[in-house]
Amino acid sequence: MKFIVLPSTGDTAGVTIERLARTRLEVVHRASGRPWIIGDWNEGDVYKKRIGNRRIVLLGRFLMDEPALLRILDSAESLSDLSRITEEIPGSYHLVAELDEGVRIQGTLSSGRQIFYSDRGSPVLAASDPALLLPFVGREWDRSILASRLIAPWPPWPVSEIPVWKGVSALAPGHFLRVDSRTGTARQVRWWSPEEPHLTLERGAELLASAVHDAVLSRGRGRTTVSADLSGGLDSTGLCFVAAATGVPLITTRWQATDVSDEDETWACRAERGLPEARHLTFDRRSAPGWFTELLPRRPGVHDHEGPFPWIRTRGRLVHTAEAVAERGSRTHLTGHGADELFFATPLNLHSLARTHPAKVPTHLLGYQALYRWRTAPTLRGLADSSTFSAWLGKVTDSLRTPLREFSTAPDFGWGLSGRMARWVVPEAVEAASEALRRDDVLSSGPLSRHRAQHASWQDARLCGDTLRKVNHVTGAHGVSWEAPYLDDRVMRIALSVRFDQWSMPDRYKPLLVDALRGTAPPEILERSTKSEYSADAYTGLRRNREAIAELCDGMRLEEHGLVDAEAFGRTVFDPPSSSFGIVPVINTLACESWLRTIERGSREKDKDLVSILEG
């Protein structure tokens, strides 16, 4: 799904109703007859309603409660009153609405459905993808932002959300875009902030069970078949059982790990026995695509222009899965991504626990020390740290070149992961990334929450949503939508509202999710408390795809733009470090290099897509 929202005033970039009538694009018109929303979507994924001069459009996956929605639309005194829609209508969708005062446009809290808008004058154009705005704002990319994408494992928020393209802005978390109907100017308006965590584990699990069920049901609505990951891990396996409970015919998919001793296969086979009505599809490790098998897109389109693809290592697998499930009748694929970000208790929870329930700290602290072997003195100093978000960003900026230790006897209780830049990133690129981290709009942003654990969870969920949005660009080309129910607004709001003392204990694995899945997933599945790791897939993929990687290292565009040393990068790729930690920056670099080559190719070829139509 893709769309662009046009202003009610001014020239609509030469787009006329007559021209649109000759295309296959969908158009939602204003009362005046002018085009309002132009896009490419399935009929069942859009809801349109009008009450007098008021109108609303939902685009995505949702469980429609029309009476509730119409009550909200009819009674709303302002655009802000429409926030209640996200409480009443489950799912993952964009919301576009118009009242007399103007237009409200928003995506999701996870950024899985995001809104981008032009920031060069007015009237403002808004779109679901920044690439759709490029004909109107130009095609100049920001060197400092691209340099920041070389930070491993990822740049800190909010730099992580700044578009690579100049002239394009992204809607901030928990905000909607308010467009004035008379002037076409726009401003961001906050509509949601995390609540103070107040739910008990029991109440949170009860609400979460309902929210996850509705999230999955919204994906199966109107579908004859859905598919889903069944890795064997708790997150994807739980979703499979929820999907089976909705009654929609289910296809499960799993990849055999390169490491034959990986225990995911054992757990996945147990789950398959508990899902006898589903069709189970297994991709053999000997014949199916491995990691790093599709470093450049087969058929690049404008959506590949959005920015570097974080999961470039598995692009070949994503395409293979999409083709396989599409062949078997699925157009919707469920994935368990988002659960780690929202339900896994990280040590950072301990820092927030010390500020909300200090009496609970000693018991939890002993558990974390036993698990991570922390020394007491640096741990207590870390717990006492109350430095501001901007001060932490300054430390991250100053330590971009500091070697990252794989193991440490002292915890990192900062506002997020302290990213690093690899040795093949040249000093000029490090300075460019530092400029991005020192931007006034970055330093003035402030954290997403006053609690570091809550901030980190929301930030990580948005990083995950951003990646899943780009995954949809890949799989959508093969007719399959990749859906992450755990990233729905209602699910996220519940996850971020449970008290830290109720679920941050290190002796239980994802207790909120486990308790929510009780009665749906078999007890033996919920007993799993381990996660597999895939370093064997990484090393094998690098070895088997040396030739393709060598082609990217030959005449690296990143080197041409003064960002990396291609020779130093090649030495690392062809002689990988013994620790898999060292492969993470390799992936970031390959993603940035692939993106530069893709937009270079796109500038030479005419894309058969929405942008080329709007350009005339």
Q: Around 32, how many Cα atoms within 13 Å sit in the side-chain half-sphere?
A: 7
- Cβ 433 vs Cβ 401: under 8 Å: no
Query: Distance between CA atoms of 355 and 361, rounded to whole angstroms?
Result: 9
Q: At 488, which helix (H) or strand (E)? A: none
DSSP reduced 3-state for 3:
strand
CA angle, 580 then 585 then 589, to 5°: 135
Q: Which residue has the tokens 């981008």?
A: 116
Q: Is the dihedral of CA 302, 305, 310, 315 positive or negative?
A: positive
**Residue 79 in tokens:** 């655009």
Q: In what order do the strands lie in the sheet with 46-51?
A: 46-51, 54-62, 91-99, 102-106, 175-180, 186-190
pLDDT (tens digit per residue) in 318-347? 999 999 999 999 999 999 999 999 999 888
pLDDT at site 607: 47
Q: What percent of the chain has pLDDT over 90?
A: 75
Does pTM surpass 0.85?
A: yes
Tell me the average pLDDT across 583-607.
84
Query: Distance between CA atoms of 462 and 111, rounded to whole angstroms?
Result: 5
CA angle, 107 then 2 then 309, to 5°: 80
Strand 481-483 to strand 279-283: parallel, antiparallel, or no bridges (unpaired)?
A: unpaired
- Cβ 436 vs Cβ 155: under 8 Å: yes
Q: What percent of the chain has pLDDT over 70?
A: 94
pLDDT (tens digit per residue) in 389-433? 999 999 999 999 987 665 677 888 999 988 999 999 999 999 999
Q: How many H helices and E strands in the chain?
A: 27, 17
pLDDT (tens digit per residue) in 247-258? 999 999 999 988
pLDDT at site 336: 97
Query: Distance between CA atoms of 168 and 451, rounded to whole angstroms?
Result: 30
- Cβ 15 vs Cβ 34: under 8 Å: no
pLDDT at site 64: 93
Tell me the average pLDDT across 300-307.
76
In this structure, which amino acid lies at residue 376? T
The highest-confidence range among 64-68, 299-303, 416-420, by mean pLDDT, is: 64-68
Query: Distance between CA atoms of 403 and 423, rounded to whole angstroms?
Result: 9
Neighbours of 366 (CB within 10 A): 11
Q: Where are the alpha helices (DSSP H) in 247-347?
A: 264-273, 315-327, 339-343
**Residue 159 in tokens:** 């730099």
pLDDT (tens digit per residue) in 361-379? 999 999 899 888 899 999 9
Query: Distance between CA atoms of 402 and 564, rounded to whole angstroms?
Result: 17
For the stretch 178-192, what's the b/e string if a residue is b when 16 or more beta carbons lie within 10 angstroms of its beta carbon? Answer: bbbbeebebebbebb
pLDDT at site 305: 84
Burial class (CB in 10 A: 0-12, 13-18, 19+), 196: exposed
Write the DSSP assignment of 387-422 as a string of letters: --HHHHHHHHHHTTTSPPPS--SS---SSS---B--
pLDDT beyond 50 at 606: no
Alpha-carbon torsion angle 423, 424, 429, 430, nearest 10: -10
Calculate the average pLDDT of the chain: 91
Tell me the average pLDDT across 205-214.
98
Of 134-148, 525-539, 599-613, the poorest mean pLDDT is in 599-613
DSSP 521: B
pLDDT at site 612: 57
Q: In what order do the strands lie in the sheet with 26-29?
A: 26-29, 35-40, 2-5, 126-127, 116-118, 168-170
Tell me the average pLDDT across 181-191.
92
Query: Distance between CA atoms of 235 and 442, rounded to whole angstroms?
Result: 33
Neighbours of 122 (CB within 10 A): 16
pLDDT at site 302: 64
- Cβ 214 vs Cβ 62: under 8 Å: no
DSSP reduced 3-state for 381:
helix
Give the 3-state DSSP-derived string for 431-452, with helices as H, strands as E and coil as C: HHHHHHHCCHHHHCCCCCCCCH
